[in-house]
């Protein structure tokens, strides 16, 4: 059996892990392939692995030998799916590996923001506690999760797991129907009702034309004053400039953001401003627990092994 030629376009994102397959292969590992060199990197390869490096129509068209794009992540918006179908290229992703990690990350952000951890931690580092005439620092009100309402957009494995954690802390959980939906499914409330009732609003959805800017100025204005907004899913679901404005005005009481529209962020990203207060901004690491990454590697290898064996799995349609 001839060796299958495989290229990993951004191996630097998973360099601590060794990939092995149960068929003869040659694996080319590129630390971080520039977008303009993707077509050249795919030359002669039947299988491409990518975490975040885009593979567009032109790159596919230039490499008719390419048969499988194995995405080392859940999101696949950097792949031209329509072109892949046209050229007969299978696209397989890795789903369900980070359910616990991402739900825990969202919960960590939620409880930290409700307790105003970013605000008080910054004041301690600035020396205010050391100079306080009292035993404590007083200021921003601190709240408990118990009795608060958590609105969740996206009732998949991560949103459902977050709901379980929240309910253990005595929160009331509401699931949001799709924006603009004409009918309300059992177990859901309307998009607008959930916006208006939520003390904390957490988004767990892919980025699509329907979900882009899901939360922007219009939606923020309809939320409770002081609402906490969480996005650990995809940049672009929350309008960053509008969120920054909401934080400054106090309409938004806090935000936990793990993903941005451009990653790494550009210096002028509105959420990098120093005056936004109760904000936790993490560098797209919600998924990255050691346990989750170990699962990712296993599923990624299985996706490739099963494709070569003639039984593709986790195929993106």
Q: What's the angle, vertex CA 74, arms to CA 26 and CA 242, rounded to 5?
A: 135
Indicate if 99-281 has the same CATH topology as 4-97+291-309: yes
Catalytic one among 105, 116, 204, 234?
Answer: 234
pLDDT tens digits for range 138-191: 999 999 999 999 999 999 999 999 999 999 999 999 999 999 999 999 999 999
Catalytic one among 61, 128, 263, 291?
Answer: 263
Q: Report, in angstroms and rounded to the nearest whole number, the Rg of the chain calculated over CA atoms.
A: 22
pTM for this structure?
A: 0.91
Q: Which tokens hold the place of 188?
A: 């859901």
CATH code for the structural domain at 4-97+291-309? 3.40.50.720
Q: Which tokens hold the place of 39?
A: 């077509």
155 labelled catalytic: no
284 labelled catalytic: yes
Q: Per-domain residue ranges for the chain?
A: 4-97+291-309, 99-281
pLDDT tens digits for range 103-134: 999 999 999 999 999 999 999 999 999 999 99
Q: Which candidate, 128, 90, 129, places its Cα nearest to that of 316?
A: 90
Per-residue pLDDT at 226 exceeds 70 = yes
Instruction: Supply the pLDDT for residue 75.
Output: 86
Pick the CATH number of 99-281 from 3.30.70.20, 1.10.3720.10, 3.40.50.1370, 3.40.50.720: 3.40.50.720
Instruction: Supply the pLDDT for residue 1.
Output: 62
Instruction: Supply the pLDDT for residue 82.
Output: 96
Catalytic one among 185, 284, 290, 291?
Answer: 284
263 labelled catalytic: yes
Give yes or no for a contact between 227 and 198, defined as CB atoms under 8 angstroms apart: yes
Q: Return d(Cα 257, Cα 241) in angstroms, integer.
A: 13
């Amino acid at each position: 059996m001839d060796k299958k030629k495989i290229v990993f376009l951004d191996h630097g994102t998973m360099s601590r892990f060794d990939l092995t397959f149960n068929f003869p292969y040659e694996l080319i590992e590129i630390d971080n392939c520039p977008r303009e060199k993707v077509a050249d990197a795919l030359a002669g390869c039947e299988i491409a692995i990518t975490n975040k490096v885009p593979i567009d129509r032109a790159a596919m068209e230039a490499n008719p030998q390419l048969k499988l794009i194995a995405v080392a992540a859940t999101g696949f918006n950097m792949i031209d799916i329509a072109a892949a179908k046209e050229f007969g290229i299978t696209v397989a992703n890795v789903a369900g590996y980070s359910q616990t990690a991402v739900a825990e990350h969202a919960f960590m952000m939620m409880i930290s923001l409700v307790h105003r951890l970013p605000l008080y931690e910054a004041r301690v580092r600035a020396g205010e506690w050391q100079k306080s005439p009292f035993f404590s620092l007083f200021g921003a009100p601190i709240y408990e999760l118990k009795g608060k309402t958590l609105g969740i957009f996206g009732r998949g494995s991560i949103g459902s797991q977050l709901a379980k954690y929240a309910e253990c802390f005595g929160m009331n959980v509401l699931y949001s129907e799709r924006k603009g939906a004409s009918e309300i499914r059992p177990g859901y409330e309307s998009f607008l009702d959930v916006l208006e009732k939520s003390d904390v609003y957490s988004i767990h959805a892919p980025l699509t034309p329907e979900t882009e800017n899901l939360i922007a100025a219009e939606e923020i204005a309809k939320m409770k004053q002081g609402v906490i907004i969480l996005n650990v899913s995809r940049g672009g679901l929350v309008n960053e400039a509008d969120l920054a404005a909401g934080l400054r005005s106090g309409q938004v009481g806090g935000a936990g953001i793990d993903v941005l529209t451009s990653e790494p962020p550009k210096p002028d990203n509105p959420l990098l401003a120093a005056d936004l207060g109760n904000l936790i901004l993490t560098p797209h690491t919600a998924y990255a627990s050691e346990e989750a990454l170990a699962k990712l590697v296993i599923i990624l290898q299985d996706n490739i092994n099963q494709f070569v064996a003639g039984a593709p799995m986790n195929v993106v349609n």
